[in-house]
Amino acid sequence: MTDSTRSLLAARHIDASFATRDMHAGLRGLTHLFSSAPRRQVLFDVSAEVRAGECLAVIGASGSGKTTLTRIMLGLGSADAGGVFYRGNAVSRGSAGMKALRAESSIVFQDPYGSLDPRWTVERSVSEPLWLRRRALGYAFDEVGAKTVQALARVGLDPRGFLDRYPCDLSGGQAQRVAIARAIVNEPKVILADEPMSAIDVAARVRILETLQSIVHGGGTSLGADAVGERPALIVVSHDLGVVQHIADRILVLNDGHVEETGPTAQVLGRPRSDYTRRLIEAASL
C-alpha cells in the first residue's frame, strides 16, 4: 500500500510557481506583451500528508510557501509538477478525487469577519453548507436546524443567545468560533485552518485552541464520533509555535519553498535537526 492510500490527504513532490508582474511591460513594445511572463518558483519538491484524526501544522516565516501548499492540497490552487491524492485518488480538475475533496473539506480563514456575510444571522451563516448539500447529505429540513444548533454548542456558543445575532454583534473570538461552527457543521473529513488565531485577542485564543483540539482529538465533529477514523484531519497554517505545540501531532517546516524538516511535534520542537527550525523556536520563546 502506498503512502497516498494510507493518508487521508497527501501532496507528493509539489513544485509551484507564480507569474511575476512587470509594471513596465507596456513600455517595451507589443512583442513583449505576447511573450511568456517570467515565473518565480515558490515550492520545490514539497511533500506533505495528513491522516484522519490527526493535526498537521505547517509552519515557517512569511513567504515560506505555507498558504500556497495548503491551497494546492485543498484543490484551490494548481501545481507545476507533482500530485495531490485524497483517499488514494488523484485530485485534478474534474476528477472523482477532486469532487470528493471539495464535498468533504472546509476552511477556517484568518479573518472571521471577512469570512462571514455581515447581512446574515449566525443561524444562516452556520446552516448554509447544510442547505447547499442537504439532499446529498440526506438531511430533512428539521435536521438542518438541529445540526446548526449542535455545531454552535460544539464550539462553546449557546445557540439560544447566538442564532439571531449578526457578525457586528460578535467579538473577534465569538466570530471565529461561529466560523469554525460553519466549517464543521456538515462534518467534513478535512479542515484547513489558515492562521485561525492571529486576528483575535489572547484571551479568545485559549477557547479557539480548546475548540480545535476537541474537534480533532476529542470525538470528531459530531458528538458521538469516537473512533479515530471518524474524526476529521486538521491542517493548521500558523506562525504561532505556542499554539502549534498544543494542537499539532506532526509539523512540517517550510523555508523559502523547501521542506526544512518534518516529523512528530515533540521531535521537531524538542530536537530540531535544522538551524532554521531552531531559529524559529528561539524567536517564539516557547
Q: Which residues of the chain have pLDDT under 50?
A: 1-5, 220-221, 223-226
Distance separating alpha carbons of residues 12 and 82, to the nearest angstrom: 6
Q: Which domain CATH number covers 259?
A: 3.40.50.300
**Residue pLDDT, tens place only, 30-51:** 555 555 668 899 999 999 999 9
Looking at residue 220, its pLDDT comes to: 46
Q: 254 lies in a domain?
A: yes
Output the CA torsion sign for 154, 160, 166, 169. Answer: negative
Residue 135 identity (one-letter amino acid): R
DSSP-based three-state secondary structure for 282: helix
The answer as to whether 122 is a domain residue is no
What pLDDT is attached to residue 28?
57
Tell me what pLDDT residue 223 has. Answer: 43
Domain span including residue 264: 1-25+39-104+233-286
168 to 113, 172, 183: CA distances (angstroms): 8, 10, 19
Predicted structure pTM score:
0.86
Does 188 map to a domain?
Answer: no
Whether 227 is in a domain gets the answer no
DSSP for residue 38: P
- Report the alpha-carbon distance of residue 174 to residue 162 in Å, rounded: 9
C-alpha torsion 35→40→44→45, nearest 10: -20
Residue 212's pLDDT is: 86
Question: Does residue 60 fall inside a structural domain?
Answer: yes
Residue 241's pLDDT is: 87
| 217 belongs to a structural domain | no
Res 22: pLDDT = 60
State the pLDDT at residue 35.
57
Q: Give the count of beta carbons closer than 10 Å to the beta carbon of residue 23.
A: 6
pLDDT of residue 5: 45
Domain total for the chain? Answer: 1
At 126 the pLDDT is 96
CB–CB of 14/46 below 8 Å?
yes
Examine residue 139 and state whether it is found in any structural domain, yes or no: no
| Residue 70 lies inside a defined structural domain of this protein | yes
